[in-house]
Copies of this chain bind each other. A is one copy, B any other.
Amino acid sequence: MPKTSQAAGLHRASLAKLNELDAALELMYYGWRGMTLEADDYLAKQGLSRSHHRILYVVARRPDIAIGALIEVLGISKQALNRPLNLLLERKLLTTQRAPEQHRSKLLRLTAAGQRIEQRASDHERKVMRQAFDRAGASGAAAWMAVMEAIADNN
């Protein structure tokens, strides 16, 4: 079971800057933590963690996704998916059903309870983003998105 709370890297450390871009590296690190901190706390209280949230998040946005496709999207092995997925099924946050035509694959869908938890966890993250975007204004938000796109596309 996950922890209840985490003190890891809570306050940003004051480090000398060796390079002009060091601030950006650190902002990425602390930004990720800042966005996920409250959501992780909420999930921990539900006895869940980030990996469960990722599953719920994807299934919410791809209802009736097959397990193989879910593995693809998450980019993990089926063995790694196995445990968290079964927990979500046991807790009835997800349901499976055989496909109507393609009986070989099982389709996943959120239950009402699963939807609620997915939504609340994601809401914690969206709240952080919304506050930051509000402070930066529409043009600042657009610029942030553009920069993040460029970084993300660096595959």
Contact = CB atoms under 8 A, between A and B. Distances in A.
Given A24-B129, A25-B126, A151-B129, A60 B144 contact: no
B28 A35 contact: yes
A15 B62 contact: yes
Most B Cβ at <10 Å: residue of A8, A28, A33: A28
- The complex is assembled from copies of this chain, and their number is 2
A98 to B, nearest CB: 23
A84 B11 CA distance: 23
Nearest to A123: B19
Interface string A123-138: 0011011111101100
Interface of A, helix, strand, loop or mixed by DSSP = helix
A152 interface: yes
Interface of A: 7-13, 15-19, 21-25, 27-28, 30-35, 37-38, 58, 60-62, 73-76, 122, 125-126, 128-133, 135-136, 139-141, 143-155
Given A24-B133, A34-B154, 19 more contacts: A9-B74, A12-B152, A13-B73, A16-B62, A22-B61, A22-B122, A22-B126, A25-B129, A28-B31, A28-B129, A31-B148, A32-B32, A34-B152, A37-B154, A131-B154, A136-B150, A140-B146, A140-B147, A143-B143
